Structure 1
Amino acid sequence: MDGVPNLTQGAIAPESSFRYQFTMPHPGTYWFHPHVGTQLDRGLYGALIIDDPREPLAYDEEWVVVLDDWLDGVTATPPEVLAELSQGMGGMMMRMGNTLMGAKSDARGGDAGDVYYPHYLINGRPPADPETYTSAPGKRVRIRLINAGSDTAFRVALAGHQLTVTHTDGCPVEPLDVDSVLIGMGERYDVIVTLDDGAFAFVAEAEGKKARAFAVVRTGPGATPPSDITLPELSGRLATADKLRAKDDVTLSRRKPDRELTIRLRGNMDRYDWSLDNRTFTLDKPMKNPYPIATGEGVRINFVNTTQMWHPMHLHGHTFQHAGGGPRKGTSIVLPGRTLTVDFAADNPGRWLTHCHNLYHGEAGMMGVLAYLK
């Protein structure tokens, strides 16, 4: 099941419908969204939670948290933002219109993002009108984090609490105790937390953008914390994918790859000409210059980031594993000037999009297709 126009199915026409019927082979935290222009940044997405009938984790409750950056109908529309970015961003060191320069993140290797957003949301609500999750002291809560944003990484923490990372992108990892989680666009993380007594700030800091999303976790009486509260957890032990290890039951075999692809991430902000290997890509002609693979192969991809921006790279139709026993994922961050090596089993024949999950980088051309040979 996949919904990429002109590649895996036609776009669903206005005032029509399409029914998907599929078997859910793997439990976990997932989400869905379109690949038609900038519709994702207009809020067309949803969470997809698949429960495990043999759930191995012990917890009392769960809370699905969808993070988003929002501008549509406030400062501009997403198509207007894309048009503005496409003119290039050379030389700016501040907000200018809907573009943003000078947003920095050491954890993301430099620039934090391209787009100015007036609002950052948790489950559709801004800090001025926050969601309140109500529970009881001592409850173990599984928090399912989904970053549905288009240009923003979020650093997530719960005041006064330790988080235990158990999954990323639906796949189990060896448990890791942290103070906060850094989640890029398209990524998902599951964490377990044991709640204390009181009212606590739940903060998703817009990484490098000097703004945040905010919610409240309440287990008892007490004043509601302010949305601008300082959380020491945000500068504490930080979970990123490179610190995680896949559980044995989702670890790929360590066989030598049958095929190795090197995909270079190209482009810069001055021209806003993002691409894979300088290949021109449009969804009008998605099968121009695909990357070939074959059924049954063990495939290795080296994502080589030649740019000065970080890119959350996603592969449709498969999950991959970071080389050397790292986590099994569907979307992973490639830092500026770095190479990320991932392996996957070519066990799902078809034509599958791979792309940067920064919506505007993808729409500018940082997309490509992995196509099974016939």
Structure 2
Amino acid sequence: MKPGIFDPTRRELLAGLGAGLSAGLGASAAGLITGGAGPLVTAQLALQARPATLALRPGQPPTSIWELAAVSHIGDVRLRRGDRCEVVFRNDLPVPLAPVWYGLSGGAPADPLRGRAPAPPAAVETSIISIPNAGTLLADFRLFEDGLKQPARPLPIIAAETGPVAVDRDEVLLIEEWRLQPDSTAVPPGQDPKDAKPLYTINGQTSFELSALAGQRLRLRIINGSQRSVLAIKLENHEVNVMALDGQPAEPFPARNGALVLAPGARADAFVDTATSAAFLLHDGKEARKVGQLTVSGTLERRVPLLPPQPLPANDLPEKLDLKGALRFDVALGAADAGWIRPASFSTASTAAFRAKAGRTVVLALKNAAPATTVFHLHGQPFRLLDKLDDGWKPYWLDTLAIEPGQTQRIAFAATSPGRWLIESVATDWAAPRLVRWYGVE
């Protein structure tokens, strides 16, 4: 995808789960924290799948939705790199569900589609996850969208660096996409939207406002939480320095025209030094619209001027990849004869997309023969986007990539996380089905 912007042709608390769950979480974690059976647990997280509402149209009733909520936290969920986190998940929705983690390379429990059954309605399940890297993560139910009765909100999760980062504020901006019918009911992704109109929110608000002092350095964790659309977001009259993509530190670079282009599920950490009040503009490939406002008043007095942004601490990913000795595979995205299948019918008894020995470099040629832009997501390990000549890579890591019609993009990754991992493919059309395959690292 071109780096250009606005191109119309492109695209509470544990008690909230009830005294029984709270007591169960406290007892089980206490044994681990105090050195009982099993390794040390350093964090706890209680998640709940539940019904909710959002006020999406003034003067009309709130829209019914579903959501993945962190009832153990007030505000953002903030863990730390190196944590071993006990996760208690309660499903208070009428279909089987389980959180699927994006950006948690090698640290997540087994994805529900590759051996771990989703939690049935009213069930409570406990798992342990490791947080090997700092970064901006996302958990949601998108692998279960064939069974969703309502659109489901994802949950941003921050894995903080172990040392300080030179910013004044750290803010999450979750962009979400809705398809609303005239009566304000919302159409779940994967279904024909018919006459439903698109609507976008930031942090659940149709008109988001972020207040700041002039001269503050903000770390904006911008997440495209939409299910289908490639979106571009721009903060007018400000330089936006990209510091991380898909949860992995990047060599800092300025966003072109102050704007970021993100595929569905992609994340970008950006540093912004506030100057004046400005609008947040969103472009969905068809039109630009104002979705929020940065309101600047007053000035932060500093004894020492701000220095240029320094790279974020590294996540111990390999500095180099052995492209000459890499295993190479062609992957046709979404092709019916290539083994892609809807998640509800998936089984690891199906043929693997490819297999690799642990420690090898893998290069994938991702071909999109579809007439629409298609989004690819790799579970298990981040990847580098290769240059067109296949002789180097872009200075950042990704786990999600949008590929334009008729194009082939090549990616490379180090197969460092053994196991069976999912790959996803979905066209950027609201009614398009989400498709999955698996690959193995042995």
Question: Structure 2-normalised TM-score?
Answer: 0.63
Partner of 1:253: 320
The 4+ residue runs of structure 1 with deviation greater than 4 A are 38-41, 72-77, 278-282, 357-363
Report the CA distance between 1:276 and its aligned residue.
7.3
The residue identity in structure 2 corresponding to 1:15 is A
* 2:268 equivalent to 1:189: yes
Greater strand share, 1 or 2? 2
| Kept after mapping to 2: 8 A contact 1:295/1:347 | yes
Partner of 2:287: 210
Partner of 1:301: 364
The residue identity in structure 2 corresponding to 1:289 is T
The partner residue of 2:161 within 52, 60, 63 is 52
> Tell me, what secondary structure is at the counterpart of 1:283?
helix
The 3 A distance-change label for structure 1 pair 3 and 84 is farther
* 2:383 equivalent to 1:320: yes
* 2:144 equivalent to 1:65: no
| Kept after mapping to 1: 8 A contact 2:367/2:406 | yes
| Kept after mapping to 2: 8 A contact 1:155/1:180 | yes
Partner of 2:228: 151
| Kept after mapping to 2: 8 A contact 1:262/1:304 | yes
Report the CA distance between 1:218 and its aligned residue.
1.4
- Corresponding residue pairs, total: 307
The 3 A distance-change label for structure 1 pair 33 and 279 is closer
1:203-249 deviation per Cα after TM superposition (whole angstroms, max 9, x unaligned):
222x223353511211218xxxxxxxxxxxxxxxxxxxxxxxxx896
Report the CA distance between 1:363 and its aligned residue.
6.7
The 3 A distance-change label for structure 1 pair 280 and 209 is same
| Kept after mapping to 1: 8 A contact 2:376/2:424 | yes
1:267-296 deviation per Cα after TM superposition (whole angstroms, max 9, x unaligned):
6xxxxxxx4736445433322122223322
The 3 A distance-change label for structure 1 pair 249 and 278 is closer
Larger Rg: 2
CA root-mean-square deviation:
2.9
Equivalences for residues 120-159 of structure 1 within 5 A: 120-126=200-206, 130-159=207-236
Mapped partners of 1:145, 1:5: distance in 2: 27
Question: Structure 1-normalised TM-score?
Answer: 0.73
Mapped partners of 2:238, 2:110: distance in 1: 39
* 2:135 equivalent to 1:28: yes
1:125-179 deviation per Cα after TM superposition (whole angstroms, max 9, x unaligned):
11xxx22211111000011100110122221111221111111011111211232
Share of identical aligned residues, percent?
21
The partner residue of 1:289 within 335, 351, 371 is 351
Mapped partners of 2:124, 2:215: distance in 1: 45
Report the CA distance between 1:190 and its aligned residue.
1.0
Report the CA distance between 1:77 and its aligned residue.
4.6
* 2:332 equivalent to 1:264: yes
Which sits farther off after the overlay, 3-12 or 319-328? 3-12
| Kept after mapping to 2: 8 A contact 1:28/1:49 | yes
Partner of 1:243: none
The 3 A distance-change label for structure 1 pair 276 and 167 is farther
Report the CA distance between 1:64 and its aligned residue.
0.5
1:49-106 deviation per Cα after TM superposition (whole angstroms, max 9, x unaligned):
1110124x42111111000101367555545x63437xxxxxxxxxx534xxxxxxxx
Equivalences for residues 82-101 of structure 1 within 5 A: 82-84=190-192, 96-98=194-196
The residue identity in structure 2 corresponding to 1:200 is A
Mapped partners of 2:225, 2:325: distance in 1: 32
Mapped partners of 2:361, 2:191: distance in 1: 40
Mapped partners of 2:427, 2:371: distance in 1: 14
Please list every run of 5 or more consecutive structure 1 residues that lacks an aligned counterpart in the other structure: 86-95, 99-115, 222-246, 268-274
Report the CA distance between 1:356 and its aligned residue.
2.3
Partner of 1:364: 433
Report the CA distance between 1:22 and its aligned residue.
1.8
Mapped partners of 1:248, 1:5: distance in 2: 26
The partner residue of 1:338 within 403, 407, 411 is 407
Please list every run of 5 or more consecutive structure 2 residues that lacks an aligned counterpart in the other structure: 1-107, 299-313, 387-391
Mapped partners of 1:195, 1:276: distance in 2: 51
Mapped partners of 2:248, 2:153: distance in 1: 24
> Tell me, what secondary structure is at the counterpart of 2:192?
helix
Partner of 1:89: none
Larger RCO: 1 or 2 (CA < 8 Å, sep 6+)? 1
